[in-house]
Amino acid sequence: MGAEASGLLTYRGAVYPRDCDHIGHVNVATYGAKFDEANWVFFCEIGLTPSYLRGERHGMAGVQQNIAYKQELFAGDVIEIRTQVLDVADKRLRFRHEMRSIESATVVAVSEITAVHLDKQGHKACALPEAVRRSAKALLADER
């Protein structure tokens, strides 16, 4: 298959006909959904577990997402998403998901996301737990 991609593996799956639009290409909603699934795996890997996020106190919110569509996907294609951390701040994470065709190792789409850690009761951003910041910093793109 192709060269080894870098980053944390956060999604592997297949494209189904239901994921495609009227002309047979994967639709933008599907790209968004697959990147969203990668978000939750990434969060769990750095300590923002489902239990933590379901709690009453803290959550995460995306405040910016930019998606670049590089190559079309079709039903039957198999893909993976790898995630790299771009920046870790006190209350914010910026990370990049790279979606590749497993067969060709070609990058088919890239999503860059900025997310903030929330105080659910105060309805405002708050500091990420120190352990989460350490885990995220260990995945910084330029340090791998």
Domain assignment of residue 114, yes or no:
yes
Share of the chain residues as helix, strand and coil, in percent rounded to the nearest 5: 25, 40, 35
> Tokens in use for 53?
């996020």
Give pLDDT tens digits for 38-70. 999 999 999 999 999 999 999 999 999 999 999
Domain assignment of residue 2, yes or no:
no
Domain assignment of residue 123, yes or no:
yes
Cα 57 to Cα 117: distance, rounded to the nearest angstrom: 11
CB atoms within 10 A of CB 131: 10
Domain assignment of residue 121, yes or no:
yes
Cα 9 to Cα 121: distance, rounded to the nearest angstrom: 33
The pLDDT value recorded for residue 3 is: 44
Cα 31 to Cα 23: distance, rounded to the nearest angstrom: 16
Cα 10 to Cα 5: distance, rounded to the nearest angstrom: 12
DSSP 3-state of 57: coil
Number of structural domains, the chain? 1
Domain assignment of residue 1, yes or no:
no
Domain assignment of residue 3, yes or no:
no
Q: H or E stretch including 75?
A: none
Average confidence (pLDDT) over 16-20: 96
Task: Give the domain extent around 84.
Answer: 8-143
pLDDT confidence tier of residue 143, bands split at 50, 70 and 90: low
Residue 26 makes CB contacts below 8 A (sequence gap 6+) with: 15, 19, 20, 72, 73, 74, 77
Q: What is the CATH number of the domain that holds 74?
A: 3.10.129.10
Cα 53 to Cα 115: distance, rounded to the nearest angstrom: 13
Domain assignment of residue 135, yes or no:
yes
Domain assignment of residue 83, yes or no:
yes
